[in-house]
Amino acid sequence: MAGDYFSNDTIAAIATSLAGDGGIGVIRLSGPRALECAQRLSRNFENPEPRYLHRIEIADPETGKTMDDGLAAYFPEGHSYTGEESVELQLHGGRFLLQSALNAAIRTGHCRLALPGEFSFRAVRNGKFTLSAAQSVQQLIGARSRFEVEAARANFAKKRVEYIDGLAARIRSLLARTELAIDFSDQDVEVVSEQGAKSEVAELLRDTEALLARLEAAQRIARGIQITIAGRPNAGKSTLFNAILSEERAIVSAEAGTTRDVITEDFALGRYRVRLADTAGIRDAGGTIEREGVARARKLLAGSDLVVLLLDANLSYEELVREIYEDRALRAKTVVALNKSDLAPAAAARIRARLRLEKNIEAIAISALSHDGIGSLLETLRKTLDRGFGLGADAFLPTEFQLQMLIFCRDSLADAEALLARGGHSNPELLSASLRSAARALSDLCGDTTPDAVLAKIFSEFCIGK
């Protein structure tokens, strides 16, 4: 049975992960024949009390053979996730077993397989969720760090909705007065002054750009932060890489130039998801392979969000300063760590003090081998990320669609500002068109007036069981 997002079919899907066999798996049914379908599968699900778990046996509707036993919950129309009549079957979580039970449900003829995100689509259609809240559900499912969970949860916050609604209301207010000015264009009546319109548009543009900057920072954090360990050969980069990850991920050797390629691994640093990279030592390499490794290291360093410059604390102060300032482009996003500080702690302390006083550089004393100072280094990295990504740390996490709608709003307001600068107040029709585009973009962002085709595209990117 083929379907589309705007049908009233009863739909079914496995609502739990099929990445591996689990203890429990859930099949969700939703639509006008959900209960009837469940009753065709179960021999003992007559007149179920709503919102209670009932013990059931699932049987093949054609052969009558028992397939599984488990629990089922019935939700009447208006009291389910989708707002429709729904049944959730809690069965044993084997992939083959769940797929067999789903196929049996479809063979009853009372339901079809749900499209990706169709349950959430129906929840939005039936007023159980806003569009942005439904998109947040998908973000929560895909979250891979505490930041992504917190930011996705912020999408549900009333404060976020109120802020965007307030921004849209201000645009609509100016739009209404601008269109009123069109009606009175042949009379000597000033509905909104030229200076007043310029001031309002400029303020709207500033607020929209500020929100956009926060959301772009949030999206950047969600994609993952790139931290790269850099330094000369034998500085201890691979040892530090292993120490941070608490595993022997990279080969460690006393021979200089052991690391020839970029080695990466993901780990959690506070609320952030970080991709840590160990690189080839930066030097004038002789071999073809090592030269390629150095070239890749330089390319990665240039695009990294943060660099840990690992230095040998047993070098002279002058040598250390030369290494720190060798690549000035990296200085703004570099954390300096003095490795092997345990071998000569007094000398390392003097170098750190001198760097602080003379160069205003706060170097961290560590021993990658013994793990001394690793905790302090990680805390410094976390605080540095908080400062660098502070704009997005407390923002809600936008979807790509939401971000594009906000960019469209910003661009429309910029067009309005340019029109006013060129004397557009005397031609309010053009100003009205720009303001209307900005208002429509915010309405689409919140899901108030999103076209059906756009809604279908958004939900097609959800997982099937959601």
Torsion, Cα 366 372 377 379, to 10 degrees, reads: -160
pLDDT at 253: 41
Residue whose entry in the numeric block shows the structure tokens 């083959």? 96
460 within domain boundaries: no
Q: Which residue(s) pair with 110 in the sheet?
A: none
Residue 267 lies in a domain: yes
Residue 100's pLDDT band (cuts 50, 70, 90): very high
Q: Confidence band (pLDDT; 50, 70, 90) for 184? A: low
**Domain total of the chain:** 3
Whether the predicted pLDDT of 257 surpasses 60: no
Please say which residue of 392, 419, 434 terminates a domain: 392
Phi/psi at 399 (5° precision): -80, 170
The CA distance from 452 to 441, in Å, is 15
| Residue of higher predicted confidence among 293 and 414 | 414
The pLDDT value given to residue 254: 45
Q: Evaluate whether residue 273 is within a structural domain.
A: yes
Residue-averaged pLDDT of the chain: 81
d(CA 15, CA 82): 13
Does residue 421 sit within a domain? yes
293 shares its domain with 234 = yes
The C-alpha atoms of residue 58 and residue 71 are separated, in whole angstroms, by 10
Residue 286 has pLDDT above 70, yes or no: no
* 245 and 270 inside one domain: yes
* CA terminus-to-terminus distance, the chain: 19
- Examine residue 147 and state whether it is found in any structural domain, yes or no: no
Among the residue ranges 34-43, 177-186, 206-215, the one predicted with the least confidence is 177-186
Give the model's confidence band at 290: pLDDT under 50 very low, under 70 low, under 90 confident, else very high. Answer: low
Domain hosting residue 45, numbered range: 11-129
Same domain, 347 and 407: no
pLDDT of 445 reads: 77
Determine the average pLDDT of the residues in 137-156: 72
pLDDT at 256: 46
Query: What pLDDT is stored for residue 214 in this prediction?
Result: 83
Same domain assignment for residues 299 and 335: yes
pLDDT reported for residue 288: 58
- 3: in domain: no
- Who has greater pLDDT, 399 or 82? 82
Convert the pLDDT of each residue in 19-33 to its tens digit. 667 789 999 999 999
Domain's final residue, options 361, 392, 423: 392
What does DSSP assign to residue 426?
G
Q: 0.75 cut: is pTM over it?
A: no
My answer on whether 232 and 358 are in the same domain is yes
Q: Which residue has the tokens 């300032």?
A: 325
> Do residues 387 and 403 share a domain?
no
Residues 118, 138: contact at Cβ < 8 Å? no
Closest listed residue to residue 152, CA positions, set 161, 160, 143, 144: 143
Give the separation between CA 270 and CA 315, rounded to whole angstroms. Answer: 33
- Do 272 and 310 sit in the same domain of this protein? yes
Indicate if 228 and 101 belong to the same structural domain.
no
Can you tell me which residue has the tokens 């996490």?
397
The CATH number of whichever domain residue 275 belongs to comes to 3.40.50.300
Task: Choose the weakest-confidence range: 36-50, 191-205, 240-254, 438-452.
Answer: 240-254
pLDDT digits (tens, 9 = 90+) for 338-382: 999 988 888 889 999 998 888 888 899 999 999 999 999 999 999
Same domain (yes/no): 282, 162:
no
Confirm whether 144 is domain-assigned: no
pLDDT bracket for residue 305 (50, 70, 90)? confident
Residues 442, 374 share a domain = no
**Does 285 or 178 have the greater pLDDT score?**
178
247 and 371 within one domain: yes
Do 378 and 252 reside in the same domain of the chain?
yes
pLDDT for position 220: 78
Q: From residue 32, how far is each of 275, 278, 280, 406 by CA, in Å?
A: 47, 57, 62, 37
Does the residue 92 lie in any domain?
yes
Phi-psi region of 157 (alpha: psi -120 to 50; beta: other; left: phi over 0): beta
Query: In terms of Cα–Cα distance, which of 220, 223, 191, 175 is closest to 409?
Result: 175
